[in-house]
A and B are shown apart, each in its own frame.
Chain A
Amino acid sequence: GDSVTQMEGPVTLSEEAFLTINCTYTATGYPSLFWYVQYPGEGLQLLLKATKADDKGSNKGFEATYRKETTSFHLEKGSVQVSDSAVYFCALSFTGFQKLVFGTGTRLLVSP
Chain B
Amino acid sequence: AQKITQTQPGMFVQEKEAVTLDCTYDTSDQSYGLFWYKQPSSGEMIFLIYQGSYDEQNATEGRYSLNFQKARKSANLVISASQLGDSAMYFCAMREGPYSGAGSYQLTFGKGTKLSVIP
Partners in one complex: no
A residues with CB within 8 A of B: none
**Interfacial residues, chain B to chain A (CB-CB below 8 A):** none
